Amino acid sequence: MDLIRPIIKPYAWGSREALARLQGRSVPSAGPEAELWMGAHPAGPAGLTRDGRATTLHEVIAAAPERELGGECARWFGGRLPFLLKVLAAEQPLSIQVHPDREQARTAFAAQLAVGTGPGTYADDWPKPELLYALTRFEVLAGFRERDEAVAVFDGLGLADVRPVTDVLRAGDGATALTEALRTVLETGHGDSGPVAAVVAACERRARVPGPYAAAYDAVVRMAGHHPGDPGLVASLLMRHRVLEPGTALFMPAGGLHAYLKGVGVELMAASDNVLRAGLTTKEVNIPELLRVTDPSVRVPVVRPSGVPGLRTRAYACPVEEFALYRTELDGSPEPVVPSSGPRIALCVDGSALLRGPEGDELSLGPGESCFLSDSDRDVTAQGDGTLFVAGTGAGIARR
């Protein structure tokens, strides 16, 4: 069991309070803190001390992948820790984005390497499905609306400026219509902020009128305060707007268009940093590639936790091989850590958790503290009065 030192990503949309409070540091922080990374991705490997030497989780796994990950996991994932655990603290909206599936990432990254011109759109050759568990109320845009609902949202603005969008929606069928509407908004919206301003003004009027889309209109107005004139504001109306209550988990499959607007949550994903952006960002935007990868038929389901027989642990399983999330509300008595083997990262988000191995070795976690459990750290128990999340590999590896 290794206590790890997470990496803080200081992206501009981050909070100056949430992560500092979680870790018991002074508030506010010196600058925005957006993500707490607990994993081995080369772009932000967590630190740890092994045999008295400061190192990183990436280096530890690379030195002995079968010992750290287990033989099956090491072979199937090429010696890499397949998941990345984060705490995400969004004070401002994140970009409208999509992530590739495995084949798309492999093909695009290989083509990028073949050109040999240096860093490109793809950071690695891995997919990036993800799970978000809301620690606070968390506002998101997740997946496309149904076509008829999208038409109703745009018609509700009462603007001639959006006729090109509604014409495309009415002319097409289902998924094709939604993709073409998104293309219309993004490809014609850049460089001309007039129609965007008109949409924002109409949203401000409509947000004051009770109705099924008032919250979505209000979200556009608030996002415009951070990204004025951005066509992503118009594109957001094509997407499902929802607010997750604390304790709710959402699964974002590859190809699903989404944007996280505000909130704090535990995020678990495949160990990738591949992000294709369409708007609401100062970072690189690649509209053609985003449109190619986006799958408008993707649904973004709420993940219903299942109980682990005989334990207080709840499992948030997703249809992916790279990860699964487990949550245990400790009540003072020892509780087996699930999973019992394989690579795991445990995170305490409140209270305390004392982890104990079968040989009597112990590691204490307080709020915001996390540790790495290698495959050799088997049959560990946890005891305390806190909430413990454990990230592990997903289902199906052993059947390969």
User: Among all residues, which ones are annotated catalytic?
Assistant: 277
Q: Give dist(CA 313, CA 157) in Å, integer.
A: 46
CA angle 39, 136, 384 (to 5 degrees): 65
Q: Kindly compute the dihedral angle of the four CA atoms of residues 143, 147, 148, 150, in this order, to the nearest 10 degrees.
A: 60
Helix (H, G, I), strand (E, B) or coil at 366: coil
| Amino acid type, 394 | G
The pair phi, psi for residue 91, each rounded to 5°, is -95, -25
The pair phi, psi for residue 375, each rounded to 5°, is -60, -25
Residue with tokens 């556009």: 220
User: Other C-beta atoms within 10 Å of 348: how many?
Assistant: 25
For residues 306 and 315, the answer to whether their CB atoms sit within 8 Å is yes
Question: By C-alpha distance, which of 230, 243, 224 is closest to 142?
Answer: 243
